[in-house]
Amino acid sequence: MAIPAILVLEDGTSFIGQGFGAQGRSFGEAVFNTGMTGYQEVLTDPSYAGQIVTMTYPLIGNYGINEEDAQSEQPQVRGFVVREAASFPSNWRSQESLEQYLRRHGIIGLMGVDTRALTRRLRQHGTMRGIISTRPEDVAAPAGLAEEARNTAFAGPALVPSVSTRRAYEIPGSGYRVVVLDFGIKRSILKSLASLGCHLMVLPWNTTADAVMALRPDGVFLSNGPGDPKDVPQAAATLRQLLGRYPIFGICLGHQILGLALGADTYKLKFGHRGANHPVKELASSRVYITSQNHGYAIAPESLPPELRITHLNLNDGTVEGLEHTDLPVYSVQYHPEAAPGPWDSTYLFQRFLDYMARGRKAYA
């Protein structure tokens, strides 16, 4: 029997459909993802912590869920909204259905709503606070939910600590020693670095510069993660102490934190970039890459100091997608070269990190 469920945005707009997965009520930032596949990677990407995610593709769940594609130990979203959730997945890798997976992890799903209308609302007015609920009293009185959503504060400063590792751990390798500062890292990023032979030392987000230097790494990697980079000023402060000592590579939130550490500013995008088909131009070569993205903040180009130059631009809206230091082996990108989901056009960026460490091993040891 279908359970009525509702998503109410802070502006009073409501979307009523059927609940699936877990039951209850959850608050989050309503966003949308344009990917046609990769819903499991979306669900488990720590960068989605604190968010209610809408998938724009109309049929989600048709190939089920498997352990291998998960980007973290559990779903990170606060809610999941789809036009249609497949009841009977068909794929040789499938281990359970989308509904079973959400129910097992306590994530509320909403299906049967006009996701095109919801996406248009978020594009026109920007991301908003929202509440997703299967409670009968909430479905019957959405106006009260809208007011509650408006008056509920985001847990911004708590997002990165909630998804970062709480203890240091290592992934053995015979190659370069890489310190990974974990702001909410995806497993596919670790796999990409490990596949190149790197010995990975994964550290909590608030690890001090002295603790990093004590490990004598060949390079420092800054991971992706959720929320506003200004909510974790300690990370930028730590990074300032590491600049000039090691090659540094940052992705997504790591890219934004690197910009802040070097004196640039960041700002919140109207509705963010979330999907697997964003065109990005590399300025040096004029080559265009199709990229996987998941972020709600960007670097303000007018704030860049002279020692930082733009390497990549988003062809949809002109936002900064890549930076590099003019003198130091330091660079970053706003998008996800490891994909998962998405194209593998940009995996060369990991090899570039190895090249920097190869040239700087003696100088930065």
Residues marked as catalytic: 252, 336, 338
Neighbours of 351 (CB within 10 A): 10
Amino acid sitting at position 364: Y
Cα 280 to Cα 319: distance, rounded to the nearest angstrom = 10
321 Cα distance to chain centroid: 14
Measured in whole angstroms, the distance separating CA 90 from the mean position of its chain's CA atoms is 28
Cα 25 to chain centroid distance, Å, stands at: 23
Q: How far apart are the first and last CA of the chain?
A: 63
242-260 in b/e form (b: 16+ CB < 10 A) is: bbebbbbbbbbbbbbbbbb
Residues in contact with 187: Cβ distance below 8 Å, sequence separation at least 6, in sequence order: 70, 71, 72, 340
3-state secondary structure of 257: helix
Query: CA angle, 330 as apex, 306 and 352 as ends, to 5°?
Result: 130
b/e map of 19-45 (b: 16 or more CB within 10 Å)? bbbbeebbbbbbbbbbbbebbbbbbbb
Nearest residue to 146 via CA among 30, 50, 51? 30
A 10 A CB-CB count for 88 gives 9
